[in-house]
Structure 1
Amino acid sequence: MQKRTGPVTSNLAEEEREQLCALLGNVELTLLYKASVHEYQAAVFHQRCDNKGPTLLVAYNSSGYIFGGYTSVDYAQSEKYISDREAFLFSFQGKNPVYSKVNSGNYARYDDAGMPNFGQQLTFCNGNGEVVYNEGGKSYSFNAKRLYGNDTELTECEVYKVKEKCHIWGRQEKEKPWRNIRWTSIRRDELMEMIRNYKPLVTSVRRARILMIGPVGAGKSSFFNSINSIFTGHVTHKAMSGSAGTSLTTQFRTYTVNDGRGGKPLPFVLCDTMGLEEQSGAGLDIEDISSILQGHVPDRYKFNPTAPFQPDKQKASRPASLQEKIHCVVYVIDATKISLMSSKIEEKLSSIRRKVNSLGIAQIVLMTKVDEACPLVEENLQSLYASSYIKSKVQEVSSRLGVPVSCVLPVKNYSQELELDLNCDVLLLTALQQMLNFADDYLDDADQMEDNVF
């Protein structure tokens, strides 16, 4: 095709652009490459798109399909297989884009001097031509008919630079925060003292039991480590945590936190679970959660994703005491991945919520990694409740999980830090205090129900 002159304009309609930006988060798209203008040539593509950071490829075919892929890793002609857990393929199904993320353990693309490919499975502008080529493979699970109608003839191919919108702190500073919080050492000390002095409403319960549930890598174990760090006085890593593709937590763990080194246990227990995974037969089993909620699963029980927990017959014959049951459930969600949460994970969380609701247990969402989600917050954690982007993420997770906005608590866990930080402490302790309040709400209701029975 001959190179055309004239202004380079996007083929994306405004509604489609908004939908893609919503899928990626708080971003803006800048057109780098348009095949009909810059030629269907690999050399030109790389000249315009190499080393530009995250990019979104949008292709159009003669059947009217709009589809493509996203990668967060630079094009650089490195001749290497690229791992990119953020990569995905998408296609508009009606007004909304449906996506397929890179499969766990597979590479996202091969970074060579040719035209862009995803997992060497789907190549756009193959052979410098106006076609898409599907070689098949294991990197992405998609149906060619659904993705692009089996029509390989392209009418256009565009590549956009994906850049996170950065709010200007000076402007937002003048706005009224959407939540009020005191970022002071006095407030931190007040929260620590309230937690130390907490006593469950029901005298038969010595410690509130808080269950952490969430996808792999969301920060469940890191939250315990962070709370433990605050009361220990230095950053600790007692629970295994990290960013592996599969859950590092393989056992059901109940963690107590001591009030300082050698101090007495504080009046709460944080219960850690195996991470939720998309695939069936992987990650935490939904039936195991039911057993945990009702107090049947012992500490250090090793999860088996293919076989749910079977309680001891003698123990199963009697109901667990209120002390053994879960009093508050906390869903831990990564703020950077809310828009990319798969339908399978969302369905699993919905199933869990229905079970928790049926038992009347209080529920909270802990939204982690807020600093990674918003540059404004990364620069200054105290700007958290002045960030319109974080507010939008709180509203989004509220809508997707079906919990009130007031029950979504943004936090930053300790992950890379070597020293404690006042602002992190205030956020984390505020969240923990709210969990204890919610646990009391459940205990109060449960105690009244038992009184009515007798």
Structure 2
Amino acid sequence: MASLTSKLNEQQLSRLYTLLGEVELNLLYKASVHGYAGQAFHQRCDRQGPTVVVAYSYSGYVFGGYTSKDYAQTGQYIDDEKAFLFSLQDPTPVWFRVMTAHGARARLDDASGPRFGDDMWFCYNNCAQVYCNPGNAYMFNTATMYGNNQQLIECEVYKVTEASVPGKSVEKKPWRNILWTAERRAELMESVKTYKPLISTVKQLRILMIGPVGAGKSSFFNSINSIFCGHVTSKAMSGSLDSSITKQYRTYTIRAGNEGVALPFILCDTMGLEEASEAGLSIDDISSAINGHIPDRYKFNPAAPYEAEDEVKPPRSLTLQDKVHCVVYVLDTCKVTLMPSKVEEKLTAIRKRANLLGIPQIVLLTKVDEACPLVEEDLQNIYLSSYIKTKVREASARVGVSMSSVIPVKNYSHELELELECDILLLTAIQQMLRFADNYFDDMSPGGDNVV
């Protein structure tokens, strides 16, 4: 009998970890060794807890599906909101939630080989092939999934378990260098205070914050404001409700001290992104905000996007000063893996529009302490945490930006006093936003002072 070794190469395994997070994989079943029969699959894989199927097609595609529920041959439909299908093709892995006409049915738990939803089978009819009939159940086509080649050269199933000590995996050396000193905090604060945009007509950068409900957009503003006020503040409304607390478009200027000079950037807070198509922030409203049309305190209406034209008063003349110079996606580290597909689709649409306009984009990963016990113990462990590194990689893949554009931070939430480590992470994030905006100005063509 052939040796039971994984067919996944290092790159494919890395992409799979991007989707699954910090887990351990134990190879249970290999079709070329145990046979393509459903009986052989169930003998090895029943009652093993969460599993991931990885199939290899003759066209070179590596794809599969994850379920958090046991295989047990109960003959019942299994609901599993965490189940998803994926393809590990370049440049980044893609994934699709398993949804059927009956909701989150992951599969029929019968005696056949691995199955997802109503109409996708691996080892179909006990043969080395896959069968899929997407219909309205899946948000993909078979060409995207496995290259329209149903023949398999291998099918593997892995048991998925959390790392032996969840969130405690430590890198041998920090995967990013950072100084945790009071001197470094002072340097960052001074750098932000004295920053001047490369284009003289722009006095304050505009940074547009976008993200799902409860991710921490308003809390990020409150946290930056706290640093420069010298104490914890709560100027912007924030919370963790299912629907967005922020209903208005707010543009916040931060001052150095209660009566200090305005800092050279404006944080623009938006309504939260929601899964429903007619709820939360509208994609059209984001385009209007990027182009500088939406005024401060405009009340968002998900059912009716903002219209710049005004029959009574003509629209004001807009300049580069009014335009957004950096887009920041704010994501909850704990929820990156479970991001609803509709929210991810909205983020993709926003990214494409920002790309067309040449606007630089950054991802902020918030609530890192809640996501990783190692970081909760000591925030200075953030760049020693393998788990946080995994989440940075996953956010990079899902949003479509480079890993260097993903910055983990901790907002002030329950604290009563400022903390050195919190401040340094937050100030580093602001510094990167200013640098990215400078790249945008540097790339602008002559005469780029007008808004497109």
Q: What TM-score results when the alignment is normalised by the length of structure 1?
A: 0.65
Q: How has the CA–CA distance of structure 1 residues 376 and 74 changed in structure 2, closer, same or farther, with 3 Å as cutoff?
A: farther
Q: Structure 2 matches for 1:321-336, cutoff 5 A?
A: 324-332=322-330
Displacement after TM superposition at 1:311 (Å): 1.4
Deviates more, 1:377-386 or 1:400-409: 400-409
Q: How has the CA–CA distance of structure 1 residues 106 and 382 changed in structure 2, closer, same or farther, with 3 Å as cutoff?
A: farther
**Separation of aligned partners in 2, 1:404 and 1:156:** 31
Letter in 2 for 1:348: I
Q: Structure 2 matches for 1:272-283, cutoff 5 A?
A: 272-275=269-272
Q: How has the CA–CA distance of structure 1 residues 368 and 122 changed in structure 2, closer, same or farther, with 3 Å as cutoff?
A: same
**Separation of aligned partners in 2, 1:145 and 1:190:** 52
Displacement after TM superposition at 1:10 (Å): 3.5
Displacement after TM superposition at 1:444 (Å): 11
Displacement after TM superposition at 1:383 (Å): 3.1
Displacement after TM superposition at 1:31 (Å): 1.0
Displacement after TM superposition at 1:40 (Å): 3.4
**What residue in structure 2 maps to residue 75 of structure 1?**
70
**Separation of aligned partners in 1, 2:273 and 2:217:** 11
Letter in 1 for 2:53: L
Q: Of residues 424, 427, 432 in structure 1, which corresponds to 2:425?
A: 427
Q: Of residues 292, 295, 299 in structure 2, which corresponds to 1:298?
A: 295
Letter in 2 for 1:318: R
Q: How has the CA–CA distance of structure 1 residues 7 and 329 changed in structure 2, closer, same or farther, with 3 Å as cutoff?
A: closer
Letter in 2 for 1:29: L
Q: How has the CA–CA distance of structure 1 residues 250 and 123 changed in structure 2, closer, same or farther, with 3 Å as cutoff?
A: farther
**Separation of aligned partners in 2, 1:328 and 1:63:** 40
Equivalent pairs: percent with the same residue?
47
Displacement after TM superposition at 1:158 (Å): 1.9
Q: SS where residue 180 of structure 1 aligns?
A: coil
**What residue in structure 2 maps to residue 351 of structure 1?**
353
Contact 1:335/1:369 (CA < 8 Å) preserved in 2? Answer: yes
Q: Structure 2 matches for 1:160-175, cutoff 5 A?
A: 160-161=159-160, 163=162, 169=170, 172=172, 175=173
**Separation of aligned partners in 2, 1:418 and 1:33:** 53
Displacement after TM superposition at 1:411 (Å): 1.8
Displacement after TM superposition at 1:310 (Å): 0.9
CA offsets, 1:425-451, max 9 Å, x none? 3211332355457668989999x9799
CA offsets, 1:175-209, max 9 Å, x none? 4764332x2456546656776x6687799988654
Q: Is residue 311 of structure 1 aligned with residue 311 of structure 2?
A: no
**What residue in structure 1 maps to residue 81 of structure 2?**
84
**Separation of aligned partners in 1, 2:320 and 2:208:** 14
Displacement after TM superposition at 1:94 (Å): 8.7
**Separation of aligned partners in 2, 1:303 and 1:365:** 23
Q: SS where residue 208 of structure 2 aligns?
A: strand
Contact 2:47/2:71 (CA < 8 Å) preserved in 1? Answer: no
Contact 2:169/2:387 (CA < 8 Å) preserved in 1? Answer: no
Q: How has the CA–CA distance of structure 1 residues 179 and 22 changed in structure 2, closer, same or farther, with 3 Å as cutoff?
A: same
Contact 1:33/1:49 (CA < 8 Å) preserved in 2? Answer: no
Q: Of residues 354, 373, 382 in structure 1, which corresponds to 2:380?
A: 382
Displacement after TM superposition at 1:406 (Å): 6.5
**Separation of aligned partners in 1, 2:279 and 2:350:** 12
**Separation of aligned partners in 2, 1:243 and 1:285:** 19
**Separation of aligned partners in 2, 1:289 and 1:156:** 43
**What residue in structure 1 maps to residue 224 of structure 2?**
227
Letter in 1 for 2:382: L
Q: How has the CA–CA distance of structure 1 residues 418 and 297 changed in structure 2, closer, same or farther, with 3 Å as cutoff?
A: same
**Separation of aligned partners in 2, 1:228 and 1:238:** 10
**What residue in structure 1 maps to residue 53 of structure 2?**
57
**Separation of aligned partners in 1, 2:154 and 2:201:** 70
The two structures, once aligned, show a CA RMSD in angstroms of 5.7
Contact 1:25/1:339 (CA < 8 Å) preserved in 2? Answer: no
Q: How has the CA–CA distance of structure 1 residues 168 and 10 changed in structure 2, closer, same or farther, with 3 Å as cutoff?
A: closer
**Separation of aligned partners in 2, 1:108 and 1:419:** 47
Letter in 2 for 1:161: V
Q: How has the CA–CA distance of structure 1 residues 199 and 10 changed in structure 2, closer, same or farther, with 3 Å as cutoff?
A: closer
Q: SS where residue 8 of structure 1 aligns?
A: coil
Q: SS where residue 49 of structure 1 aligns?
A: coil
Letter in 1 for 2:51: T
CA offsets, 1:53-73, max 9 Å, x none? x531224689987542124x3
Tell me how many residue pairs correspond in the alignment: 431
User: Unaligned stretches of 5+ in structure 1?
Assistant: none
**What residue in structure 1 maps to residue 210 of structure 2?**
213
**Separation of aligned partners in 1, 2:447 and 2:331:** 32
Displacement after TM superposition at 1:349 (Å): 0.6
Letter in 1 for 2:410: K
User: Unaligned stretches of 5+ in structure 2?
Assistant: none
